[in-house]
């Protein structure tokens, strides 16, 4: 019998700033044992409180360009004069071990990944309402009105890409949302196109009947 779920899935998480993507992903990984969180590489400098290997792998331009040249990244993009990318090795190792690897990336990277790995699952985190989104962005108390307005405008632009995603995740109550995300990822293991080997195996055996 060909086992199901032998391999993990790549799970890309995108969504508006202020929807609590980061908290959601951390809660998901903490609650269930079958997830691994991918850490991106960047050439920007660490901010106060950020740790190498936790928020990002902080590397030099030369190192980053070497990774690109050696096909060591599954996606990368330039943003505000810095590189950001997802190291391939960790993702592939975790998948082989059957872990579902969660990546937080924006839409450009998400679509790069879907092209290279059609089996990847794309999730888009949304707020329950626009009013709630604004409330959360303001509630942080750390951003100026201008920055909040900019984020809202970016949400407006990002909202155009939602249909490129396989699922939306509504972050209303964190606990419920974590369970919902887990259901969605678990379910994704059972699509026919992610189980070609299993289906072909069953079919091959049935074909021997006459």
Given the rule CB under 8 A, which residues bind its own copies? 1, 4, 124, 126-130, 149, 152-153, 155-156, 159-160, 162-163, 165-170, 180, 183-184, 186-188, 190-193, 195, 198-199, 202-203, 205-207, 209
Q: Which is nearer to its own copies, 58 or 198 (CB)?
A: 198
Closest distance between its own copies and the C-beta of residue 48, in Å? 31
Using DSSP's 3-state secondary structure scheme, residue 33 falls into coil
Pairing of strands 10-15, 73-79: unpaired
| Burial zone of 130 (CB within 10 Å; 0-12 exposed, 13-18 middle, 19+ buried) | middle
Closest distance between its own copies and the C-beta of residue 125, in Å? 11
Sequence-separated (6 or more) residues with CB below 8 Å from residue 154:
16, 17
d(CA 192, CA 130): 36
Q: Which is nearer to its own copies, 140 or 149 (CB)?
A: 149
d(CA 40, CA 58): 9
Closest distance between its own copies and the C-beta of residue 16, in Å? 9
Q: Which is nearer to its own copies, 85 or 127 (CB)?
A: 127
Closest distance between its own copies and the C-beta of residue 195, in Å? 6
Q: Which is nearer to its own copies, 73 or 126 (CB)?
A: 126
Provide the 8-state DSSP code for 210.
-
């Amino acid at each position: 019998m060909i086992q199901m779920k032998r391999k993990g899935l790549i799970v890309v998480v995108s969504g508006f700033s202020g929807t609590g993507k980061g908290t959601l992903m951390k809660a998901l990984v903490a609650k269930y044992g079958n997830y691994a969180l991918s850490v991106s590489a960047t050439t920007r400098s660490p901010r106060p409180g950020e740790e190498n290997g936790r928020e990002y792998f902080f590397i030099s331009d030369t190192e980053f360009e070497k990774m690109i040249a050696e096909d060591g990244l599954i996606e990368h993009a330039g943003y505000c004069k810095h590189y950001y990318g997802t190291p391939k090795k960790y993702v592939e190792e975790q998948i082989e071990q059957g872990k579902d690897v969660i990546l937080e990336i924006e839409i450009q990277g998400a679509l790069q990944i879907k092209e290279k790995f059609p089996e990847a699952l794309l999730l888009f985190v949304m707020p329950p309402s626009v009013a709630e989104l604004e409330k959360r962005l303001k509630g942080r108390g750390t951003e100026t009105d201008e920055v909040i307005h900019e984020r809202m405008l970016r949400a407006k632009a990002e909202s155009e890409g939602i249909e490129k995603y396989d699922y939306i995740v509504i972050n209303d109550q964190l606990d419920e949302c974590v369970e919902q995300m887990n259901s969605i990822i678990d379910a994704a293991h059972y699509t026919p196109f992610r189980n070609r080997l299993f289906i072909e195996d069953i079919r091959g055996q049935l074909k021997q009947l006459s």
